[in-house]
Amino acid sequence: MIYRAIGLMSGSSLDGLDIAYVHFHENAGTWIFDIEHADCYSYTPEWHNKLQTSVHLNALDYQLLHTGYGHFLGEQVNRFINKYQLQYQVQLIASHGHTTFHVPHKKMTAQLGDGAAIAAETGLPVISDLRALDVALGGQGAPIVPVGDKLLFYAYPYCLNIGGIANLSAHSGNDYVSFDICPANGVLNRLAAKAGKAYDEGGQIAASGRVNTLLLDTLNEVPYYKEPFPKSLSNHFGNELIYPLMEKEALRPEDALCTYTEHIACQVKAAIEQIGQRLNMEAGPAKMLVTGGGALNTYLIQRIQGQLQPYNIELVVPDEKTVKYKEALIMAFIGVLRWREENNVLSSVTGAKRNSVGGAIWMGQEV
């Protein structure tokens, strides 16, 4: 059976809207995929500001933004479909939305981007609110990409995604775990802005700096990193806790970037150690798939590889399309599983009371 789906992803780093059109083929429980087309549509300064400040809106204005952003997403999908001449080919759209509030300990999570509005704009079936049921079941609602890691990238015992927030998945036999490690590009990009750059391309600025060991120790002692998993992070953690620690030291941009890059590498190593205490990972060489914008940060990859040297783990950066659009790809896949009424969120990862078939369906066409 072949499914043709579009996945939408807006990450916490606010780089833009990722759109991927993917063909999925299932045969006797084994899945293969092909990313046919993919794009990232950068946000205008107006939309960037709206999303960045959304948590400070009153209830009515927040809901109006939720609806307005949904229509915006639908318009971007139509733009994408027209560009690649995909009319009458797309079977469904799965939209992650843009996360604003994430308070799983109170069974609440919120993503901007009304699924009904997307369906109204596109005339296609839309699956949204992908995290909501897991959170209602007592889970973290995050990470949700591990179901894709498990079924699409099963050849890798470790999958590391470095986006606005870095997260790691790992499996040994039937045991599967995943959790958010630390803020990543969300903080790095803010530090790069101090040097007049949108981001630190290839980690060149960081590579020219020096690690501030006192600040690095302070960062590594933040309590979250010692908490057991399942656990997840919101944008608030990076913006309101981690970034102010960086600002307080008033370092040169290159030293701040160098220090925070080392912090990410240290926390990836710490995550591997945490996982090793839970899972009986096989000894010997292992491969870690690395995706997300951070996979293109050569210096960051070098530092992570250096930290993982004692564990004989080799980092593998795949083709650029998979690096950039893996999360949008997996959103599309989560939508396909929802359409098939199959589990698409793993309780072993999120801590929910059971696996779940997450996502609300909005039929964009008359039936």
What DSSP assignment string belongs to 15-78? --EEEEEEEEEEETTEEEEEEEEEEEEPPPHHHHHHHHTGGGS-HHHHHHHHHHHHHHHHHHHH
Is there a single domain that holds both residue 197 and residue 309?
A: yes
Question: Do the domain assignments include residue 327?
Answer: no
Across the chain, mean pLDDT equals: 94
Question: Do the domain assignments include residue 20?
Answer: yes
Q: Which tokens is 225 given?
A: 């990193």
Is there a single domain that holds both residue 163 and residue 243?
A: yes
Is there a single domain that holds both residue 168 and residue 255?
A: yes
Is there a single domain that holds both residue 262 and residue 240?
A: yes
Convert the pLDDT of each residue in 194-237 to its tens digit. Answer: 999 999 999 999 999 999 999 999 999 999 999 999 898 888 89
Which is more confident, 277 or 223?
Answer: 223
Res. 283: pLDDT tops 70 = no
pLDDT for the residue 49: 94
Is there a single domain that holds both residue 55 and residue 178?
A: no
Res. 292: pLDDT tops 70 = yes
Nearest-5° angle of CA 189, CA 191, CA 196? 85
Question: Do the domain assignments include residue 137?
Answer: yes
Determine phi and psi for 91, rounding to 5 degrees: -90, -30
Question: Do the domain assignments include residue 330?
Answer: no
Res. 163: pLDDT tops 80 = yes
pLDDT for the residue 190: 94
Determine the angle formed by the axes of helices 213-220 and 253-278, rounding to 10 degrees. Answer: 40
Convert the pLDDT of each residue in 308-366 to its tens digit. Answer: 999 999 999 999 999 999 999 999 999 999 999 999 999 988 999 999 999 999 999 88
pLDDT for the residue 173: 76
Distance CA 84, CA 15 (A): 22
Count other C-beta atoms under 10 Å from residue 285's C-beta: 9
Is there a single domain that holds both residue 304 and residue 161?
A: yes
Q: What's the whole-number mean pLDDT along residues 285-301?
A: 96
Is there a single domain that holds both residue 283 and residue 230?
A: yes
Distance CA 239, CA 349 (A): 25
Is there a single domain that holds both residue 41 and residue 176?
A: no
pLDDT for the residue 320: 93
DSSP β-ladder status, 92-95 and 2-10? parallel
Q: What's the whole-number mean pLDDT along residues 167-195?
A: 91
Is there a single domain that holds both residue 306 and residue 170?
A: yes
Distance CA 43, CA 68 (A): 14
pLDDT band at 3 (very low <50, low <70, confident <90, very high): very high
The answer, as to whether pTM is greater than 0.85, is: yes
Convert the pLDDT of each residue in 122-158 to its tens digit. Answer: 999 999 999 999 999 999 998 889 899 999 999 999 9
**Minimal CA–CA distance to 313: which of 268, 254, 246, 260?**
268
CATH of residue 274: 3.30.420.40
Question: Do the domain assignments include residue 243?
Answer: yes
Is there a single domain that holds both residue 141 and residue 159?
A: no
Question: Do the domain assignments include residue 328?
Answer: no
Q: Which helix (H) or strand (E) holds 119?
A: helix 115-122
Q: What's the whole-number mean pLDDT along residues 271-298?
A: 88
Whether residue 347 contacts residue 357, with contact meaning beta carbons closer than 8 Å, is answered with no
Is there a single domain that holds both residue 184 and residue 84?
A: no
Distance CA 229, CA 136 (A): 18
Question: Do the domain assignments include residue 329?
Answer: no
Q: Which domain holds residue 55?
A: 2-146+335-362
Is there a single domain that holds both residue 264 and residue 297?
A: yes
How many domains, in total, are found in the chain?
2
Question: Do the domain assignments include residue 367?
Answer: no
